[in-house]
Structure formats: structure tokens, C-alpha cells
Amino acid sequence: MHGAVPRSDELLEARIGIASDVALLVQHSTVVGWSLTAPARYLSTGFRSPAALPRHPPPATRSPSAWT
């Protein structure tokens, strides 16, 4: 067994689509990895560290009176 990384010198038996952009890679009847058809689509520059987040939610989300 070669672990979770497909060996590059062996052909894949199958590439099974499980979502619109995700496929499972199969070698020797075993799932050996996965791939994205458009990986750049899932990159994000909007990450903020937890320290930069507000300490409390806005008042409208804390107050039941705001729900009416």
C-alpha cells in the first residue's frame, strides 16, 4: 500500500466525481486521493485572525426584540 498519495508512475483506475469540482482518485480498487478541478476558485484572501474579530455580535443579533 502506498498511503493516501497516488503514485505518479501508475495510472489511475478511476476518477469518481463526488461534487461539482471534487473527484476521488482510485488505484488498485482503493481511494488514494482527491482532486479539485478548479483549485483557484477555493482560495481566499479574506482570512482574519480571531484577535481581529469583534468580541460581541452586533446588538441586533443579541436582542430578541430585534426579531420582531
Helix (H, G, I), strand (E, B) or coil at 21: coil
14 burial level (CB within 10 Å; 0-12, 13-18, 19+): exposed
Q: Rounded mean pLDDT of 43-49?
A: 69
The Cα–Cα gap between 63 and 55 comes to: 16
* Residue 67 pLDDT > 70: no
pLDDT above 80 for 3: no
Q: What is the mean pLDDT of the chain?
A: 74
Mean pLDDT of 37-43: 79
Look up cell 474579530; give the residue: 53
15 closest CA partner among 39, 31, 38: 31
Q: Is 57's pLDDT higher than 70?
A: no
For residue 16, give Cα distances in angstroms to 25, 37, 48, 66. 7, 12, 34, 47
The domain locations on the chain are 1-37
Pairwise pLDDT comparison (42 vs 37), residue with the higher score? 37
